[in-house]
Amino acid sequence: MTDIAQKPETAIAPEPAQAPGPGKGIWLETFSSLKHRDYRLLFLGTMFMSAGQWVQQVTLGWLVYDLTNSSVLLGALNGLRALPFLVVGPLAGVVADRTDRRLVLLWVEAVQFIAAFIMGGIVLAGAVEVWHLFVFTAVTGAGWSIIQPVRQALAPAVVPRSDLPNAVALNSVGFNIMKILGPSVGGFLIAVFGAGGNFWVQGLAYAGVFGMVALMRVPSHGAGAVRQGSAFENLKEGAAFVLKTPIIRAIMLVALVPTFLGQPAQALMPVFQKDVLKVGPDGLGLMLAAPGIGAVVCTLALASVANRIERKGQFALLALAVYGVSIMWFALTTTLEVALLSLIVMGGAQIMFHATVMTILQMVTPDALRSRVMSIYMLDAGLSPLGALAAGVSTEFVGAPATFLVLGTLLVGFCGVIWVAFPAFRTWTAAPSPQESERRLAG
Protein backbone atom coordinates (compact mmCIF):
# COMPACT_ATOMS: atom_id res chain seq x y z
CA MET A 1 0.00 0.00 0.00
CA THR A 2 1.30 3.45 -0.79
CA ASP A 3 2.00 6.05 1.87
CA ILE A 4 -0.17 8.83 0.42
CA ALA A 5 -2.76 8.65 3.19
CA GLN A 6 -0.03 8.72 5.84
CA LYS A 7 1.66 11.81 4.34
CA PRO A 8 -1.16 14.00 3.00
CA GLU A 9 0.85 17.17 3.45
CA THR A 10 2.64 16.43 0.17
CA ALA A 11 -0.62 16.48 -1.72
CA ILE A 12 -1.48 20.14 -1.60
CA ALA A 13 0.24 23.22 -2.82
CA PRO A 14 -2.44 25.62 -4.01
CA GLU A 15 -1.11 28.38 -6.18
CA PRO A 16 -1.95 31.92 -5.15
CA ALA A 17 -4.93 33.47 -6.85
CA GLN A 18 -3.82 35.87 -9.52
CA ALA A 19 -5.50 38.82 -11.09
CA PRO A 20 -5.62 38.96 -14.87
CA GLY A 21 -2.30 39.98 -16.35
CA PRO A 22 -1.80 42.72 -18.90
CA GLY A 23 -4.08 42.19 -21.83
CA LYS A 24 -5.99 39.43 -20.10
CA GLY A 25 -9.56 40.51 -19.58
CA ILE A 26 -12.42 38.94 -17.67
CA TRP A 27 -13.80 37.34 -20.84
CA LEU A 28 -10.53 35.49 -21.52
CA GLU A 29 -10.23 34.52 -17.85
CA THR A 30 -13.73 33.02 -17.94
CA PHE A 31 -12.72 30.49 -20.60
CA SER A 32 -9.03 30.13 -19.73
CA SER A 33 -9.20 26.34 -19.27
CA LEU A 34 -10.38 25.82 -22.84
CA LYS A 35 -6.92 26.62 -24.19
CA HIS A 36 -5.92 23.09 -23.13
CA ARG A 37 -6.77 20.53 -25.84
CA ASP A 38 -7.70 17.61 -23.61
CA TYR A 39 -9.80 19.79 -21.35
CA ARG A 40 -11.72 20.99 -24.42
CA LEU A 41 -12.54 17.35 -25.22
CA LEU A 42 -13.57 16.74 -21.60
CA PHE A 43 -15.76 19.84 -21.73
CA LEU A 44 -17.49 18.77 -24.96
CA GLY A 45 -17.99 15.29 -23.52
CA THR A 46 -19.60 16.87 -20.47
CA MET A 47 -22.07 18.67 -22.71
CA PHE A 48 -23.00 15.48 -24.59
CA MET A 49 -23.29 13.58 -21.32
CA SER A 50 -25.47 16.24 -19.74
CA ALA A 51 -27.73 16.35 -22.80
CA GLY A 52 -28.38 12.63 -22.51
CA GLN A 53 -28.99 12.83 -18.79
CA TRP A 54 -31.55 15.60 -18.91
CA VAL A 55 -33.45 14.18 -21.85
CA GLN A 56 -33.52 10.93 -19.88
CA GLN A 57 -34.74 12.61 -16.69
CA VAL A 58 -37.66 14.40 -18.28
CA THR A 59 -38.64 11.29 -20.24
CA LEU A 60 -38.50 8.85 -17.33
CA GLY A 61 -40.31 11.24 -14.99
CA TRP A 62 -43.07 11.89 -17.51
CA LEU A 63 -43.46 8.19 -18.37
CA VAL A 64 -43.70 6.86 -14.83
CA TYR A 65 -46.15 9.54 -13.69
CA ASP A 66 -48.22 9.13 -16.85
CA LEU A 67 -48.38 5.35 -16.35
CA THR A 68 -49.01 5.34 -12.59
CA ASN A 69 -50.07 8.83 -11.45
CA SER A 70 -48.08 8.02 -8.28
CA SER A 71 -45.71 10.54 -6.71
CA VAL A 72 -44.34 7.72 -4.51
CA LEU A 73 -43.23 5.70 -7.55
CA LEU A 74 -41.91 8.88 -9.15
CA GLY A 75 -39.78 9.57 -6.10
CA ALA A 76 -38.66 5.93 -5.92
CA LEU A 77 -37.61 5.92 -9.60
CA ASN A 78 -35.54 9.06 -9.22
CA GLY A 79 -34.04 7.75 -6.01
CA LEU A 80 -33.11 4.41 -7.57
CA ARG A 81 -30.89 6.18 -10.06
CA ALA A 82 -28.69 7.46 -7.25
CA LEU A 83 -28.69 4.30 -5.11
CA PRO A 84 -25.67 2.67 -6.88
CA PHE A 85 -23.49 5.55 -5.64
CA LEU A 86 -23.56 3.83 -2.22
CA VAL A 87 -22.21 0.49 -3.49
CA VAL A 88 -20.80 0.78 -7.01
CA GLY A 89 -19.27 4.25 -6.57
CA PRO A 90 -16.54 3.44 -3.98
CA LEU A 91 -15.55 0.28 -5.88
CA ALA A 92 -15.42 2.26 -9.12
CA GLY A 93 -13.16 4.81 -7.43
CA VAL A 94 -10.70 2.05 -6.52
CA VAL A 95 -10.76 0.61 -10.05
CA ALA A 96 -10.23 4.03 -11.62
CA ASP A 97 -7.23 4.79 -9.38
CA ARG A 98 -5.71 1.36 -10.18
CA THR A 99 -6.26 1.48 -13.96
CA ASP A 100 -6.57 3.83 -16.94
CA ARG A 101 -9.44 6.19 -16.11
CA ARG A 102 -9.99 6.91 -19.78
CA LEU A 103 -10.63 3.22 -20.56
CA VAL A 104 -13.07 2.96 -17.64
CA LEU A 105 -15.11 5.80 -19.13
CA LEU A 106 -15.10 4.26 -22.60
CA TRP A 107 -16.49 0.93 -21.38
CA VAL A 108 -19.22 2.51 -19.27
CA GLU A 109 -20.32 4.93 -22.01
CA ALA A 110 -20.68 1.96 -24.39
CA VAL A 111 -23.05 0.27 -21.92
CA GLN A 112 -25.06 3.51 -21.52
CA PHE A 113 -25.38 3.81 -25.30
CA ILE A 114 -26.68 0.23 -25.73
CA ALA A 115 -29.13 0.48 -22.82
CA ALA A 116 -30.66 3.70 -24.16
CA PHE A 117 -31.28 2.23 -27.63
CA ILE A 118 -32.83 -0.94 -26.19
CA MET A 119 -35.16 1.11 -23.99
CA GLY A 120 -36.12 3.29 -26.95
CA GLY A 121 -37.08 0.21 -28.94
CA ILE A 122 -39.29 -1.09 -26.11
CA VAL A 123 -41.13 2.22 -25.80
CA LEU A 124 -41.59 2.64 -29.56
CA ALA A 125 -42.96 -0.92 -29.75
CA GLY A 126 -45.65 0.02 -27.21
CA ALA A 127 -44.47 -2.68 -24.80
CA VAL A 128 -43.18 -0.48 -21.99
CA GLU A 129 -44.17 -1.35 -18.42
CA VAL A 130 -43.21 0.28 -15.15
CA TRP A 131 -40.66 -2.44 -14.32
CA HIS A 132 -38.83 -1.67 -17.58
CA LEU A 133 -38.30 1.88 -16.36
CA PHE A 134 -36.93 0.68 -13.04
CA VAL A 135 -34.50 -1.78 -14.65
CA PHE A 136 -33.27 0.85 -17.10
CA THR A 137 -32.86 3.34 -14.26
CA ALA A 138 -30.85 0.83 -12.21
CA VAL A 139 -28.49 0.12 -15.13
CA THR A 140 -27.92 3.76 -16.04
CA GLY A 141 -27.65 4.71 -12.36
CA ALA A 142 -24.84 2.19 -11.93
CA GLY A 143 -23.15 3.73 -14.96
CA TRP A 144 -23.48 7.23 -13.55
CA SER A 145 -21.98 6.15 -10.21
CA ILE A 146 -18.85 5.16 -12.14
CA ILE A 147 -18.76 8.03 -14.64
CA GLN A 148 -19.14 10.92 -12.21
CA PRO A 149 -16.13 10.39 -9.89
CA VAL A 150 -13.90 9.34 -12.80
CA ARG A 151 -14.76 12.42 -14.89
CA GLN A 152 -14.21 14.68 -11.88
CA ALA A 153 -10.80 13.06 -11.39
CA LEU A 154 -9.80 13.78 -15.00
CA ALA A 155 -10.10 17.57 -14.81
CA PRO A 156 -7.01 18.17 -12.62
CA ALA A 157 -5.04 15.80 -14.89
CA VAL A 158 -5.60 17.87 -18.04
CA VAL A 159 -5.26 21.44 -16.70
CA PRO A 160 -2.56 23.05 -14.52
CA ARG A 161 -3.45 23.80 -10.90
CA SER A 162 -3.70 27.51 -11.66
CA ASP A 163 -6.63 26.82 -14.00
CA LEU A 164 -8.35 24.25 -11.78
CA PRO A 165 -11.00 26.55 -10.20
CA ASN A 166 -11.89 27.79 -13.68
CA ALA A 167 -12.03 24.22 -15.05
CA VAL A 168 -14.39 23.08 -12.29
CA ALA A 169 -16.68 26.05 -12.94
CA LEU A 170 -16.64 25.52 -16.72
CA ASN A 171 -17.47 21.83 -16.22
CA SER A 172 -20.60 23.03 -14.45
CA VAL A 173 -21.31 25.45 -17.30
CA GLY A 174 -21.17 22.63 -19.85
CA PHE A 175 -23.38 20.43 -17.73
CA ASN A 176 -25.97 23.14 -17.21
CA ILE A 177 -26.10 24.42 -20.78
CA MET A 178 -27.48 21.02 -21.63
CA LYS A 179 -29.62 21.15 -18.51
CA ILE A 180 -31.41 24.02 -20.25
CA LEU A 181 -31.62 22.50 -23.70
CA GLY A 182 -32.09 18.84 -22.74
CA PRO A 183 -35.36 19.11 -20.77
CA SER A 184 -36.80 21.60 -23.24
CA VAL A 185 -36.04 19.31 -26.18
CA GLY A 186 -37.23 16.30 -24.18
CA GLY A 187 -40.55 17.91 -23.31
CA PHE A 188 -41.04 19.04 -26.91
CA LEU A 189 -40.34 15.56 -28.30
CA ILE A 190 -42.78 13.98 -25.85
CA ALA A 191 -45.47 16.45 -26.87
CA VAL A 192 -44.91 15.92 -30.62
CA PHE A 193 -43.56 12.40 -31.11
CA GLY A 194 -43.98 10.58 -27.82
CA ALA A 195 -41.31 9.30 -25.45
CA GLY A 196 -39.66 6.53 -27.49
CA GLY A 197 -37.46 8.71 -29.68
CA ASN A 198 -36.09 10.47 -26.61
CA PHE A 199 -34.20 7.35 -25.55
CA TRP A 200 -32.50 7.19 -28.94
CA VAL A 201 -31.51 10.84 -28.54
CA GLN A 202 -29.90 9.82 -25.25
CA GLY A 203 -28.04 7.03 -27.02
CA LEU A 204 -26.64 9.43 -29.60
CA ALA A 205 -25.53 11.79 -26.84
CA TYR A 206 -23.67 8.98 -25.04
CA ALA A 207 -22.03 8.06 -28.35
CA GLY A 208 -20.78 11.65 -28.50
CA VAL A 209 -19.25 11.29 -25.03
CA PHE A 210 -17.54 8.08 -26.16
CA GLY A 211 -16.01 9.88 -29.11
CA MET A 212 -14.66 12.77 -27.02
CA VAL A 213 -13.10 10.47 -24.42
CA ALA A 214 -11.54 8.29 -27.15
CA LEU A 215 -9.65 11.34 -28.46
CA MET A 216 -8.29 12.44 -25.07
CA ARG A 217 -4.67 12.02 -24.00
CA VAL A 218 -4.62 11.67 -20.21
CA PRO A 219 -1.31 11.68 -18.29
CA SER A 220 -0.54 8.77 -15.99
CA HIS A 221 -1.72 9.22 -12.40
CA GLY A 222 0.51 6.58 -10.80
CA ALA A 223 -1.87 3.63 -11.08
CA GLY A 224 1.07 1.22 -10.81
CA ALA A 225 1.91 2.48 -7.34
CA VAL A 226 -1.73 2.19 -6.28
CA ARG A 227 -1.81 -1.43 -7.48
CA GLN A 228 0.91 -2.34 -4.99
CA GLY A 229 -1.81 -2.98 -2.44
CA SER A 230 -5.00 -5.00 -2.71
CA ALA A 231 -8.24 -3.38 -3.83
CA PHE A 232 -9.50 -3.54 -0.24
CA GLU A 233 -6.34 -1.84 1.02
CA ASN A 234 -6.78 0.84 -1.64
CA LEU A 235 -10.34 1.42 -0.48
CA LYS A 236 -9.20 1.75 3.14
CA GLU A 237 -6.43 4.11 2.05
CA GLY A 238 -8.92 6.47 0.43
CA ALA A 239 -11.21 6.35 3.47
CA ALA A 240 -8.24 6.97 5.80
CA PHE A 241 -7.22 10.06 3.84
CA VAL A 242 -10.76 11.45 4.10
CA LEU A 243 -10.99 10.75 7.84
CA LYS A 244 -7.55 12.18 8.64
CA THR A 245 -7.92 15.39 6.63
CA PRO A 246 -10.08 17.90 8.56
CA ILE A 247 -11.18 20.06 5.63
CA ILE A 248 -12.24 17.00 3.61
CA ARG A 249 -14.19 15.63 6.58
CA ALA A 250 -16.02 18.94 6.75
CA ILE A 251 -16.74 18.88 3.01
CA MET A 252 -18.25 15.40 3.23
CA LEU A 253 -20.59 16.50 6.01
CA VAL A 254 -21.51 19.78 4.33
CA ALA A 255 -22.41 17.97 1.10
CA LEU A 256 -24.51 15.32 2.85
CA VAL A 257 -27.72 17.06 3.91
CA PRO A 258 -28.26 19.36 0.87
CA THR A 259 -28.52 16.28 -1.33
CA PHE A 260 -31.15 14.76 0.94
CA LEU A 261 -33.17 17.96 1.22
CA GLY A 262 -32.58 19.61 -2.17
CA GLN A 263 -32.61 16.77 -4.70
CA PRO A 264 -36.33 15.91 -4.27
CA ALA A 265 -37.15 19.40 -5.51
CA GLN A 266 -36.26 18.33 -9.04
CA ALA A 267 -37.45 14.74 -8.70
CA LEU A 268 -41.00 15.88 -7.94
CA MET A 269 -41.28 18.51 -10.68
CA PRO A 270 -43.85 16.41 -12.62
CA VAL A 271 -46.19 16.65 -9.60
CA PHE A 272 -45.97 20.45 -9.59
CA GLN A 273 -46.36 20.52 -13.36
CA LYS A 274 -49.52 18.43 -13.43
CA ASP A 275 -51.26 19.04 -10.11
CA VAL A 276 -50.24 22.54 -8.99
CA LEU A 277 -49.40 24.60 -12.08
CA LYS A 278 -51.53 22.45 -14.42
CA VAL A 279 -49.31 22.74 -17.49
CA GLY A 280 -48.40 20.16 -20.14
CA PRO A 281 -45.13 18.31 -20.84
CA ASP A 282 -43.71 21.36 -22.58
CA GLY A 283 -44.21 23.24 -19.30
CA LEU A 284 -42.37 20.46 -17.47
CA GLY A 285 -39.49 20.85 -19.90
CA LEU A 286 -39.33 24.58 -19.13
CA MET A 287 -39.44 23.90 -15.39
CA LEU A 288 -36.55 21.44 -15.61
CA ALA A 289 -34.61 23.80 -17.86
CA ALA A 290 -35.06 26.92 -15.72
CA PRO A 291 -32.54 25.90 -13.01
CA GLY A 292 -30.03 25.36 -15.80
CA ILE A 293 -30.39 28.99 -16.92
CA GLY A 294 -29.50 30.21 -13.45
CA ALA A 295 -26.71 27.66 -13.22
CA VAL A 296 -25.10 28.69 -16.52
CA VAL A 297 -25.23 32.41 -15.68
CA CYS A 298 -23.83 31.89 -12.20
CA THR A 299 -21.10 29.45 -13.19
CA LEU A 300 -19.94 31.73 -16.01
CA ALA A 301 -19.68 34.48 -13.40
CA LEU A 302 -17.91 32.08 -11.03
CA ALA A 303 -15.46 31.01 -13.74
CA SER A 304 -14.54 34.68 -14.22
CA VAL A 305 -13.74 35.32 -10.56
CA ALA A 306 -13.05 31.83 -9.14
CA ASN A 307 -9.39 32.54 -8.43
CA ARG A 308 -10.28 35.79 -6.65
CA ILE A 309 -12.68 34.30 -4.07
CA GLU A 310 -10.45 33.56 -1.11
CA ARG A 311 -13.00 32.45 1.50
CA LYS A 312 -14.52 29.73 -0.63
CA GLY A 313 -16.12 27.91 2.32
CA GLN A 314 -17.97 31.03 3.40
CA PHE A 315 -19.05 31.69 -0.16
CA ALA A 316 -20.39 28.12 -0.47
CA LEU A 317 -22.52 28.44 2.67
CA LEU A 318 -24.04 31.73 1.52
CA ALA A 319 -24.98 30.09 -1.78
CA LEU A 320 -26.52 27.18 0.14
CA ALA A 321 -28.71 29.56 2.15
CA VAL A 322 -30.00 31.19 -1.05
CA TYR A 323 -30.71 27.71 -2.41
CA GLY A 324 -32.94 26.91 0.56
CA VAL A 325 -34.79 30.22 0.33
CA SER A 326 -35.45 29.68 -3.38
CA ILE A 327 -37.01 26.26 -2.67
CA MET A 328 -39.36 27.96 -0.18
CA TRP A 329 -40.19 30.60 -2.77
CA PHE A 330 -40.98 27.93 -5.36
CA ALA A 331 -43.27 26.19 -2.86
CA LEU A 332 -45.45 29.31 -2.68
CA THR A 333 -45.77 29.89 -6.44
CA THR A 334 -49.05 29.39 -8.29
CA THR A 335 -48.13 30.54 -11.81
CA LEU A 336 -45.63 29.11 -14.27
CA GLU A 337 -43.89 32.45 -14.79
CA VAL A 338 -43.10 32.98 -11.10
CA ALA A 339 -42.20 29.33 -10.71
CA LEU A 340 -39.65 29.61 -13.52
CA LEU A 341 -38.10 32.70 -11.91
CA SER A 342 -37.69 30.95 -8.56
CA LEU A 343 -36.22 27.91 -10.31
CA ILE A 344 -33.64 30.08 -12.06
CA VAL A 345 -32.48 31.39 -8.68
CA MET A 346 -32.57 27.85 -7.28
CA GLY A 347 -30.34 26.49 -10.03
CA GLY A 348 -27.85 29.34 -9.76
CA ALA A 349 -27.46 29.04 -6.00
CA GLN A 350 -27.24 25.24 -6.10
CA ILE A 351 -24.46 25.15 -8.67
CA MET A 352 -22.50 27.93 -6.97
CA PHE A 353 -22.51 25.82 -3.80
CA HIS A 354 -21.53 22.56 -5.48
CA ALA A 355 -18.88 24.07 -7.78
CA THR A 356 -17.21 25.88 -4.91
CA VAL A 357 -17.18 22.83 -2.66
CA MET A 358 -15.84 20.70 -5.52
CA THR A 359 -13.05 23.22 -6.14
CA ILE A 360 -11.94 23.02 -2.51
CA LEU A 361 -12.01 19.23 -2.62
CA GLN A 362 -9.99 19.07 -5.85
CA MET A 363 -7.36 21.44 -4.46
CA VAL A 364 -6.63 19.31 -1.39
CA THR A 365 -6.74 15.82 -2.94
CA PRO A 366 -3.64 14.11 -4.44
CA ASP A 367 -4.03 12.73 -7.94
CA ALA A 368 -3.34 9.10 -7.01
CA LEU A 369 -6.28 9.19 -4.56
CA ARG A 370 -8.57 11.41 -6.57
CA SER A 371 -11.07 8.86 -7.94
CA ARG A 372 -11.47 7.25 -4.52
CA VAL A 373 -12.02 10.57 -2.76
CA MET A 374 -14.46 11.69 -5.46
CA SER A 375 -16.44 8.44 -5.13
CA ILE A 376 -16.63 8.87 -1.35
CA TYR A 377 -17.73 12.47 -1.80
CA MET A 378 -20.48 11.29 -4.13
CA LEU A 379 -21.80 8.82 -1.57
CA ASP A 380 -24.08 11.67 -0.54
CA ALA A 381 -25.97 11.00 -3.79
CA GLY A 382 -27.04 7.72 -2.24
CA LEU A 383 -29.18 9.69 0.19
CA SER A 384 -31.35 10.97 -2.63
CA PRO A 385 -33.39 7.72 -2.69
CA LEU A 386 -34.38 8.37 0.91
CA GLY A 387 -34.97 12.05 0.28
CA ALA A 388 -36.96 11.49 -2.91
CA LEU A 389 -39.02 8.70 -1.34
CA ALA A 390 -39.72 10.70 1.83
CA ALA A 391 -40.71 13.73 -0.23
CA GLY A 392 -42.91 11.55 -2.45
CA VAL A 393 -44.72 10.10 0.57
CA SER A 394 -45.10 13.56 2.10
CA THR A 395 -46.52 14.87 -1.17
CA GLU A 396 -49.12 12.07 -1.18
CA PHE A 397 -50.42 13.25 2.20
CA VAL A 398 -49.84 17.02 2.46
CA GLY A 399 -49.24 18.04 -1.16
CA ALA A 400 -46.22 19.29 -3.08
CA PRO A 401 -46.23 22.95 -1.90
CA ALA A 402 -46.12 22.06 1.81
CA THR A 403 -43.43 19.45 1.21
CA PHE A 404 -41.22 21.91 -0.68
CA LEU A 405 -41.73 24.56 2.00
CA VAL A 406 -40.50 22.19 4.70
CA LEU A 407 -37.51 21.12 2.61
CA GLY A 408 -36.42 24.71 2.03
CA THR A 409 -36.84 25.64 5.68
CA LEU A 410 -34.77 22.68 6.84
CA LEU A 411 -32.05 23.51 4.31
CA VAL A 412 -31.72 27.09 5.55
CA GLY A 413 -31.60 25.84 9.14
CA PHE A 414 -28.89 23.33 8.25
CA CYS A 415 -26.83 26.10 6.66
CA GLY A 416 -26.95 28.03 9.94
CA VAL A 417 -25.82 24.98 11.89
CA ILE A 418 -22.84 24.40 9.58
CA TRP A 419 -21.89 28.08 9.77
CA VAL A 420 -21.62 27.84 13.56
CA ALA A 421 -20.40 24.25 14.01
CA PHE A 422 -17.71 24.09 11.28
CA PRO A 423 -15.64 27.28 11.37
CA ALA A 424 -12.75 25.46 9.64
CA PHE A 425 -14.91 25.10 6.53
CA ARG A 426 -16.40 28.57 6.76
CA THR A 427 -13.00 30.25 7.03
CA TRP A 428 -11.13 28.12 4.47
CA THR A 429 -9.20 30.35 2.08
CA ALA A 430 -8.26 29.66 -1.52
CA ALA A 431 -4.58 30.49 -1.37
CA PRO A 432 -3.05 29.56 2.00
CA SER A 433 0.63 29.64 2.71
CA PRO A 434 2.56 26.33 2.62
CA GLN A 435 2.63 26.33 6.42
CA GLU A 436 -1.14 26.87 6.59
CA SER A 437 -1.71 24.10 4.05
CA GLU A 438 0.32 21.68 6.17
CA ARG A 439 -1.49 22.74 9.32
CA ARG A 440 -4.93 22.17 7.71
CA LEU A 441 -4.07 18.70 6.50
CA ALA A 442 -2.45 17.71 9.79
CA GLY A 443 -5.46 18.99 11.79
Q: What is the pTM of this model?
A: 0.67
Range of the domain at 347: 35-219+234-442
Residue 160: how many CB atoms within 10 A of its CB? Answer: 11
Confidence class for position 29, pLDDT limits 50, 70, 90: low
Going by pLDDT thresholds of 50, 70 and 90, the confidence category of residue 12 is: very low
Is residue 227 situated within a structural domain? no
- Please tell me the total count of domains within the chain: 1
Per the domain annotation, does 23 fall within a domain? no
Report the pLDDT value the prediction gives residue 344, as an integer from 0 to 100.
92
pLDDT in tens, 331-386: 888 888 999 999 999 988 988 888 888 888 887 788 778 778 887 887 776 666 67
Structural domain includes residue 146: yes
The answer to whether residue 21 sits within a structural domain is: no
Residue 340 placed within a domain: yes
pLDDT tens-place string over residues 40-75: 888 888 888 888 887 888 888 888 888 888 877 877
Half-sphere exposure of 50 (CA within 13 A, CB side): 22
Cβ atoms of 310 and 362 closer than 8 Å: no
pLDDT score of 302 more than 90: no
Within a domain: 130: yes
Is residue 84 situated within a structural domain? yes
Q: Could you tell me what percent of the chain has a pLDDT over 90?
A: 5
* DSSP labels, 241-262: HHHH-HHHHHHHHHHHHHHHHH
Give the separation between CA 53 and CA 171, rounded to whole angstroms. 15
What is the four-CA torsion angle of 166, 171, 173, 179, rounded to 10 degrees?
-170
- Identify the pLDDT of residue 221: 54
CATH number of residue 159's parent domain? 1.20.1250.20
384 occurs within a structural domain: yes
Judge whether residue 3 has pLDDT over 80.
no
What pLDDT, on the 0 to 100 scale, is given for residue 362? 80
- The answer to whether the beta carbons of residues 281 and 372 sit under 8 Å apart is no
